[in-house]
Structure 1
């Protein structure tokens, strides 16, 4: 996501992260997983900004295999096509990091549960740029040329030209207060209630029983989806996958051109998101990996990562503690945005049906 910060404006790019709440910039490209990509994301120079203010507060943050530590600053940031100004935004500036090749724009819950200061989404509401702390997301498909759309995020609105049918509300679960007690922070967790797959030309196979429910964190910062090892093994067998010494499943890249899909069900079948093989198989150019990998044993690390997110249009609703889902199906490049009001729940439920079929 493009991002401007400081006076005069400095342009950088950040990775939108639904699994965190903070804005962190300037990873060390020497220790980055992809040094060349890191260089292209830009750099924020605090001394070149007349509105930058050092807060004298230290931070440290872990992101899976990535880590960053540094100091907090306040500065004016500008977001969206209209370059909406957000003065006194809290930004963490790196002094030492590893693995990370881009800065992080965290859009999880902010002052309501996780932070002592307003996050970017909080500021958008406080300054009247949007009515409610809600945003919609389309990551865009990896695809094979048929639906190779670029992704986008819309703060305070939805684009009805990017999804099919109605938006299904999925309750954030565990509820925020229970999450706070259990995890010490609140995130976008929802219950997955079915999981299966269909090989090309064959009927769908459901791998879960009628009572299945698994709380999953929606995390755009994760390439893979992480599930129970037995479910992953069943999908791996259907994909003729092989496993390395580290427990990662790999597959033949040619599968991406086949017409099968993997299904994720919610609300006992009221909403099912089908992920095509072309989106589910993760392409690393020289090799391909299965889009779902085993979660850590004994730890609640179940994640809906980008191998799922690419097939869904997702509305993150902090007002009603809900995630609204529809099948991602872009049918027009029209940026006809429907702004959400204080009656967002009613609007999403009754009025904002997708225009793509």
Structure 2
């Protein structure tokens, strides 16, 4: 995703300590799952907000407060964009009755805030690849998350928008919408992570993301540190790459260098003429999008079929119980390796529990689900929530590195380690040893599809790299971090009339 600011508006911040038991420089946002219906060196605060998981929509959301007096909104967390923006309460999309949609996650009434100030009239403008958009003013106001508050935070106000919820972008400030609109890096402003650093909430511009599994009720976003109890094995550092057209760091592009399909019947190394694949780690994208040749190989292995009416690859819902998994490698031999199981990749198409069914073909009569890996025709490709749930991810915007490790699903203990200082290396992470040599495009060869049979059965193949860590439910952030609780909400699954409860699919 992508975002914008008013030229010259600064993000001055006044921080209030929300919790006296959190050491210096720590901000943590906890994550809680929302059930579906059927993006200072002084003492810091812990910010608690729920992340709700609504399987019919997609995305990870944080509960925030804006203005004076505070107005509550739930905004999508997005590592693929860089601005905060909110829908205006008088936007047409919000005035729609709740029974027909509307801004059910909240909107902002600027007239009701005594601290609201416009800093860029008609300068906020953002659009997305699906054709949706948001336009309006840049403004400053109080922004609070889980008890920590910043004053004069620059945000966009979507007065003309067709998106019924706002976003919290935490990417590079060079990806702010104002930079694109003005065609100038000098138009960039300090966004949320930089404000946290400038105000001493965290010691460096870095954060770690633990989304947990598809059915989980907890997860977290931790600014300024890592939680070593939330992953298995060791963190591996890989480089973030500059945007090929601008020559600057704008998004979290990493080198995907291998994919393997593994099941009870065998294993296959998959190939693509696109290797190494430039892939963006983007929490604002529900699904994952890979090159056509690679996506097609994956579909053949797991039994997914592309449906032109849906414009997506679909799969029998029963395949979620397959013990097969896909193994994603980053940074070449010896680099990070993340295994994604089928129960994280088979997604419901409706919220009612009544799945549409295939009416013909080899799956006739079976319930249909959406597959979490789709095809794309151009780079950079996207690794969204269907991948990110299986990885513990550390984003280091100072050293331009990502660290990855297999997630510890539903971990109950916490061991938070802070970054020592601005620019300090990611704690407990080692560098991928061969990533400097990752440059060549591999030849495309058709795999034997030895794993395909195993994906059609309920095997017990395991992709876990360790046992659950600990049993303590206590959690305490260390110095130099901000930990944020979030609510998980899935946005962007296939939504069309043909997928209404009880609908039929013809293949």
Asked whether the two chains share a fold, i.e. TM above 0.5, the reply is: yes
The aligned counterpart of 2:225 is 157
The aligned counterpart of 1:295 is 376
8 Å CA contact 1:161–1:330 kept in 2: the answer is: no
Distance 1:209 1:103, change over 3 A: closer
Q: Distance in 2 between matches of 1:54 and 1:126?
A: 23
1:135 maps to 2:214: no
The aligned counterpart of 2:461 is none
| Cα drift, residue 179 of structure 1 | 5.5
Question: Could you report, residue by residue, the CA deviation over 1:258-311 in whole angstroms, capped at 9, with x for unpaired residues?
Answer: 211111101224221000101122222334212111112xx3241111111110
TM-score, normalised by the number of residues in structure 1: 0.86
Question: Could you report, residue by residue, the CA deviation over 1:230-270 in whole angstroms, capped at 9, with x for unpaired residues?
Answer: 11111111222222225411001111122111111012242
Distance 1:63 1:31, change over 3 A: farther
The gaps in structure 1 that reach 5 residues or longer are none
C-alpha RMSD of matched pairs (Å): 2.7
Q: Distance in 1 between matches of 2:269 and 2:306?
A: 23
8 Å CA contact 1:165–1:355 kept in 2: the answer is: no
Distance 1:101 1:226, change over 3 A: same
Say which structure is richer in helix: 1
Counterparts of residues 1-357 of structure 1 (less than 5 Å): 1-26=62-87, 29=93, 39-58=103-122, 59-65=124-130, 66-79=132-145, 81=146, 83-98=147-162, 100-110=163-173, 116-143=188-215, 148-173=216-241, 175=242, 178=244, 180-181=246-247, 186-199=250-263, 201-208=264-271, 212-245=275-308, 247-269=311-333, 270-285=335-350, 286=355, 287-296=368-377, 299-330=378-409, 332-342=411-421, 344-345=424-425, 347-349=427-429, 356=468
Q: Distance in 1 between matches of 2:136 and 2:229?
A: 41
Q: Secondary structure at the match of 2:155?
A: strand
Question: Could you report, residue by residue, the CA deviation over 1:4-44 in whole angstroms, capped at 9, with x for unpaired residues?
Answer: 11122222111111111111112754699x97776431222
Distance 1:74 1:192, change over 3 A: same
Tell me whether 122-131 or 56-65 shows the greater mean CA deviation.
56-65
Q: Secondary structure at the match of 1:40?
A: coil
Distance 1:249 1:355, change over 3 A: closer
The aligned counterpart of 2:58 is none
Structure with larger RCO (C-alpha < 8 A, sep 6+): 2
Q: Distance in 2 between matches of 1:346 and 1:137?
A: 13
Question: Could you report, residue by residue, the CA deviation over 1:119-155 in whole angstroms, capped at 9, with x for unpaired residues?
Answer: 0111000111101000111122114xxxx24332111
For the pair shown, the structure with the greater C-alpha radius of gyration is 2
Q: Distance in 1 between matches of 2:389 and 2:407?
A: 8
8 Å CA contact 2:107–2:165 kept in 1: the answer is: no
| Cα drift, residue 92 of structure 1 | 0.7
8 Å CA contact 1:160–1:355 kept in 2: the answer is: no
Distance 1:124 1:112, change over 3 A: farther
Q: Distance in 2 between matches of 1:277 and 1:215?
A: 23
Q: Secondary structure at the match of 1:284?
A: coil
Distance 1:280 1:161, change over 3 A: same
8 Å CA contact 1:2–1:11 kept in 2: the answer is: yes
Q: Secondary structure at the match of 1:192?
A: strand
Q: Secondary structure at the match of 2:429?
A: helix
| Cα drift, residue 166 of structure 1 | 1.0
Q: Distance in 1 between matches of 2:251 and 2:199?
A: 24
Q: How many residues are aligned here?
A: 339
Q: Distance in 1 between matches of 2:261 and 2:165?
A: 34
Distance 1:329 1:253, change over 3 A: same
